[in-house]
Structure 1
């Protein structure tokens, strides 16, 4: 790929040749496709997500493209990840996110793999503006910086954590153990609260009666 361009040095738009990439004309695309197919066919690997990351030259913010499925439940589940990302990233726009199956995009990785993988796999294109983003509720455009792009990447990772927590696949961190209140010490050492002194005194008398049986015999006379 040529930096900041969508075509290879041979002039091919690589995101339109996923259906039948040539090992000669599209070697990187061919290699990635073979790797994904090998992972998909490996019973030890559960391939759940494919995300193709692109920069957009006209639209603002970050947003996603997803697929359309006949299965309504699968279609609704596909919307969960971008909705969570919208909550975690102020520069991600769910309103700009769209789900389609346009014929012109049939050769994209999102469309091709969305039809190849099973119904537990979800394929997206993550688009991010070349220029700027607008935070919800404002009209001011904030220019993207290298740090802003990296922050969006961290928010994507955080969104995956939230996603798997919702699916009970990641153990939630244990809540801190609440501190127990310490028993109040008497205001003056050597004193006991009222109502407890009689029991202590009684125990002392019992000990005395056990250690001095003669005194007990005298008292009964």
Structure 2
């Protein structure tokens, strides 16, 4: 948690001194934004350490107006990198009932330049993926229905476990296949199921990503994302 003092005072966005910390990543002050300054220095130190591979950055927030969980990602000139970063939110949408891929967006809005996602997306290399994960304060709507499910303590716990499993699966996928070369069929690896009866994900790079998750196939082939059912 980067804003413990603000949260203690009941602020959901601003720090103790009234700053929106997720707008000050470009030049955080050790005096005015001490937690942000410390985390930024740690990330830069890890990035410059040849023994460390920094592959994921996820900034988690609650959203005051939209429903469901969703993500913000970055836009890159490298189309394959841009398409590959869509894989992780696709996995969350496939396996977490409260996550909405249709609400997920990828942008380079100037007003968001000071966010962790935007700053670190420009700092880190092509092997790193930076996201903002937003979850509604209020409720979520399950696909195919119109009824909102409030985020009660029970509902939050029910939704969080599949989301956590999907996140871990996403991390595994980025470890299990190469980023640049085609992966022969005999080199494909079976990833763990999300549950005893859940889907098994088979991953191969062609030359980016080819994944089959249950009945939905998410592919990056020749630089184009395709959904097939």
TM (normalized to structure 2)? 0.71
Unaligned runs of 5+ in 2: 178-188, 193-229
Which structure exhibits the higher relative contact order, with contacts defined as CA atoms closer than 8 Å and separated by 6 or more residues?
1
Distance in 2 between residues matched to 1:151 and 1:73, nearest whole Å: 34
Q: Which residue of 2 aligns with 1:121?
A: 128
Distance 1:106 1:165, change over 3 A: closer
1:79-132 Cα offsets, whole Å, 9 max, x none, are: 000000001100000000000000000000000000000000000000000000
Distance in 2 between residues matched to 1:90 and 1:37, nearest whole Å: 35
1:143 aligned onto 2:145? no
Match of 1:69 among 67, 76, 84: 76
1:44 CA drift (Å): 1.5
1:39-86 Cα offsets, whole Å, 9 max, x none, are: 111111111000000000000000000000011000000000000000
Q: Which residue of 2 aligns with 1:104?
A: 111
Q: Which residue of 2 aligns with 1:53?
A: 60
1:88 aligned onto 2:95? yes
**SS state at 1:123 partner:** strand
1:26 aligned onto 2:19? no
Larger Rg computed on CA atoms: 1
Q: Which moved more, 1:154-163 or 1:115-124?
A: 154-163
Number of equivalences: 174
Q: CA RMSD in A?
A: 2.0
Q: Which residue of 2 aligns with 1:9?
A: 16
1:160 CA drift (Å): 3.5
**SS state at 1:86 partner:** helix
Q: Which moved more, 1:137-146 or 1:162-171?
A: 162-171
Distance in 1 between residues matched to 2:149 and 2:174, nearest whole Å: 32
Are 1:165 and 1:171, in contact at CA under 8 Å, matched by a contact in 2? no
Are 1:53 and 1:125, in contact at CA under 8 Å, matched by a contact in 2? yes
1:151 CA drift (Å): 4.3
Q: Which residue of 2 aligns with 1:168?
A: 176
1:140 CA drift (Å): 0.3
1:166 CA drift (Å): 6.7
